[in-house]
Structure 1
Amino acid sequence: MGEWRGNLRVRLTVVFSLVFALAGGSVLAGMLIMVDNAMEYSMGIFFADKYSGFRPDLDQSPEQAMTSLAASKQTIMDSMQANLLFKGGLTLLAMWVLATAAGWFVAGRLLRPLSMITATAHRIAGRTLHKRIDLEAPPGEVKSLADSFDSMLDRLDEAFAGQGRFIANAAHELKTPIALNRTLVEVAMSRPDSPPQVHQLGQNLLAVNERHERLIDALLTLARAEDAVTERRQVDVAELATIAADTTESLARRLGVQIGRELAPSPVIGDPILLEQMIRNLIDNATRYNVDGGWVRVQTVARPRHAEIVVSNTGAVISSYEVPTLFEPFRRLTDRVGSSRGSGLGLSIVRAVAQAHRGDAVAVPRPGGGLVVRVILPRSAHPLAEPVLVAPAQPEPHDAPLH
């Protein structure tokens, strides 16, 4: 009901209909008044002439004759008024229906350029900056609006293209010296005469170097996720979750964390590389910010219109008001627990990739410590499809990982 009430075409049609109904009603009322006055005047003259030559019967007095003539006059007036009101009302109703239909049609024609602008805006919201309105219409307000919108899209397209070139150049410029530093450190450590202090320093430098490489990769993934998703094809997130979990197994064993899985086939349409990176970040984040002997549970669920990825873990106790900040860049649990692992971009990348696929990601604290992160991805890749609205994730009641 609210959607129809906010529809501009419906509102214009209702306005047209009400205006016609008020105008038609006013005309009908005016006709009734004018006909009534004209008939009153004409019949007054007619009955006055008739009475002047009238000779009442012997059984009727002049007063009775006048009353009979007045009753006849009133009967004729009432009959004409009722006939005019009935037939005029039917004509007004038929014309009102036709006028309402015409108003609907005219409103649609008038609003067609705005519908084109709206459809283009929806495609832009679907991460497609290459569409233009190209409205063919005489100069006017709507034509000016469409041309301004096209000009804005041109500038946005150029800006995003420049951003993509900058990201590619920055990746090359940042990764080259880091790779060179890693090579130099490894060469220095491999020399036979290297003292133990050099080996210790080299290991520390390699750890810092590795962290910087992960940070750069995370930044590039985040930037790519917030840009257009150009490659879309059908992919099973359960398979991607299997690959991501297998990749994280070695890290989980080193940290003493067990990874459990419950992976049901859940096909979606999207970028496989970005989706795999998203799931890997989820599992990696849940593994790193855990406790010794803890666990991580990975689940995929297929719904009629979307697929769900749920990752829960043990870990530090988190307050519900702290959860929204975890999706912000460079905000991580290590700010409270004192660990230096991670870049603070894991959940930011998760949400960015999900929203790039018209989905979303939410999290709630798990009772006893840890998080339950839920990602929903729509199964339709249509650019005009509505984005998925994600309800808050529910904490898992179990205290052991799935096997």
Structure 2
Amino acid sequence: MRLSPRALLNGLPFRTRLAIAFSGLFLLAGTFLLAFVVLLARYGTSQKVQGISITYGDLPSGRASPFDPVHPTRPCLTPDPPSDVAAIQKIDQTVRAVQDTALHQMVLWSAIGLLVMALLAGLLGRWLAGRALRPVASMTETARRISEQNLHQRLALTGPDDELHRLADTFDTMLDRLERSFESQRRFVANASHELKTPLAVQRTTLQVGLADPLPDGLTEVREDLLDANREAEQLINALLLLARSDRGLEKTEPVDLAATARLVTAELAPLAAGAGLRIECVAAAPWFVPGDPVLLRHLLTNLIRNAVQYNHPGGHVRVGLDGSALTVTNTGPRIPAHRVPDLFEPFRRLDADRTTTAGNGLGLSIAASIAQAHHATLTARPGPEGGLTLTLRFRPGAP
């Protein structure tokens, strides 16, 4: 595929484009100046040659001394043809030849000098562009280091009050707003963890104590329904708090054996899978250490495997595989249209499909995707050819 010159130019770094612009402008201005000088020189020389009057006189006989005075001679008004006419023609041709040669040499060496100066102007322009863009490079490096864990850092650009200084001040003001927003979110999560879960715990204790056995048959069923609703509300709150925590990013990391974590989570969910009539297995050849938060990574694998168990059919299977570069969770189940796969990662979005367990809150895969993003990993889903879903988790080398 051929690229247009504009596309090639736009693909170059800004510093290189600025240097090319300097060279181009210098070359264009130099070419215009050179053409202007050549035209004027040629026109002026022609006018001067036409205005020259050739005079001849009697030359003194003998060898003249270089120190002898030269006296003007009387012009010869009527030169003797044809020898004088031929001499004038030769002189005219000589003058024109000298003029053409001089112009040719002037154009040639001026063009060479112009190209050399254009190259030097480009190199000088690149150096000047680097000097001018040095504050921008410093701002970029500082902005790259700033994340949700060190929002207290600022660009703090020094120097005159120019466009770059105002840009840095605007960026620092934006960081102030972001820092206040993150601090507000952290306070909300910390407060919600206590303010929302404590009333549910009190409510559950009251139901268990106030409606203790023996109870009439009607109240026993009501008590179980209330306890189920209480547990579902607590699970929903825990899921929302976990989602908020993963969205904030990681405060610290440590090496986590993902293979061991996968085997542990698979063993914990084996009774749930057996109760649904499913076969579940974990294939992990060797330990696989990744940097991350062990609690969040365990929740990530739990949500992936639990989702594979819930969205399945009796007699199906769930397979968890690790090969040192990716983790895959594959299950059987109903067919899922490819265009509906992105909806699985949206909070509170569930597809109308058969489930082998009780209904969840629709936050499992969205929490998993948020935890994966916090660890700079990618979580993708692909429908199986005969139904079910294949979830693939890949970690970026050296992340987070």
TM-score higher than 0.5 here? yes
Q: Quickly say closer, same or farther: Cα 1:50–1:267, change in 2 above 3 A.
A: farther
| Residue 356 to residue 55, structure 1, CA distance change in 2 (3 Å) | farther
Aligned residue in 2 for 1:72:
94
Q: How does 1:37-186 map to 2 (within 5 A)?
A: 37-44=43-50, 48=54, 61-124=83-146, 129-186=151-208
**Superposition deviation, residue 173 in structure 1:** 1.1
Q: Structure 2 vs 1, CA of residues 130 and 49 (structure 1 numbering), >3 Å: closer, same or farther?
A: farther
Of 307, 310, 315 in structure 1, the residue corresponding to residue 333 of structure 2 is 315
The within-5 A match list for 1:3-402 is 5=11, 7-44=13-50, 48=54, 61-124=83-146, 129-187=151-209, 191=213, 193-195=214-216, 197-264=218-285, 265-302=287-324, 307-333=325-351, 335-337=352-354, 340-381=358-399
2:65 maps to: none
AA of the residue aligned to 2:254: R
Gaps of 5+ in 2: 1-6, 58-74
> CA 1:166–1:41 in structure 2 vs 1: closer, same or farther (change >3 Å)?
same
Asked whether the equivalents of residues 269 and 379 of structure 1 are also in contact (C-alpha less than 8 Å), the reply is no
**1:284 Cα deviation after fit:** 1.0
Q: CA RMSD in A?
A: 3.1
Q: What are the Cα deviations for residues 47-96 of structure 1, in whole angstroms up to 9, with x where unaligned?
A: 845797799999x7455434422332222122212221222222212211
Inter-partner Cα distance in structure 1 for 2:97 and 2:254: 81
Say which one has the larger Rg.
2
Query: What is the letter of the counterpart of residue 12 of structure 1?
Result: L
Residue identity opposite 2:320 in structure 1: V
Deviations 1:133-162 (A, max 9, x none): 111121122211211110111111111111
- What letter matches 2:308 in structure 1? A
Structure 1 counterpart of 2:251, which letter? T
State the identity %.
38
Structure 1 stretches of 4+ moved >6 Å: 50-58
Which ranges of structure 1 fall in alignment gaps of 5 or more residues? 383-403
The code of the aligned residue for 1:242 comes to R
Distance 1:47 1:381, change over 3 A: farther
Q: Tell me, in whole angstroms, the C-alpha distance in 2 between the residues paired with 1:239 and 1:24.
A: 72
More displaced, 289-298 or 358-367?
358-367
8 Å contact 2:156–2:172 — kept in the other structure? Answer: yes
Is the contact made by 2:320 and 2:328 (CA closer than 8 Å) also made in structure 1? yes
Deviation, 1:308, is: 2.4
Equivalent AA in structure 2 for residue 364 of structure 1: R
> With structure 2 as the length reference, what TM-score do the two structures score?
0.82
Q: Is the 8 A contact 1:268 1:379 kept in 2?
A: no
Q: Aligned-pair distance for 1:353?
A: 1.7
